[in-house]
Amino acid sequence: MRTILLDDALYATMEAERLARTDGGLPVCLCVTDGCGDLLAFVRMDGAAERLVPIVIAKAYTAVRMRATTEAFRTRLLDGGLTLNDFCDPLLTSLPGGVPLLAEDGRCVAAVAVSGRALADDAALAATYARLLRERLDPARGAD
């Protein structure tokens, strides 16, 4: 999987926003970060609450740092009797809706996140968002 470019982040974000706008669900915030967790693209749909902005950024950041979906990270916390404080990083969140894009060598290329709907809905839309970006970054493996 190649390195993410701004055009890739913008393309996937606008496609995910279009899907979110037309699926009849609540408005959301969407974002893409690079492999370090730094913000590349962000959208707050009309009507999405302002409080969602730091949440969606934290979801993407967490997906990068933990090299796992935020849903998997949440499970890890619950199963291990851990708390977010155990990781000594105040930017982490365990709310589902963040998905990392990992290269075959384990390197994190990017992450996407969604916030604004029920947690399961955020996670489902984030999975679609990640697929859109993955198809752009690695067309041969996009459907995996």
% residues pLDDT > 70 (the chain): 97
Question: In which domain, by residue range, is 10 found?
Answer: 6-137
Q: Is residue 92 part of a domain?
A: yes
**What pLDDT shows up at residue 143?**
54
Distances (CA, A) of 20 to 61, 95, 128: 21, 19, 10
Any domain includes 142: no
Q: Is residue 144 part of a domain?
A: no
Residue 88 lies in a domain: yes
pTM of this structure = 0.94
96, part of any domain: yes
Asked if the structure places residue 1 within a domain, the reply is no
Give the 3-state secondary structure of 83-141. Answer: CHHHHCCCCCCCCCCEEEEECCCCCEEEEEEEECCCHHHHHHHHHHHHHHHHHHHCCCC
pLDDT digits over 9-64, tens only? 999 999 999 999 999 899 999 999 999 999 999 999 999 999 999 999 999 999 99
What total of structural domains would you count in the chain?
1
Domain annotation covers residue 143: no
Provide the CATH number for the domain around residue 101: 3.30.450.150
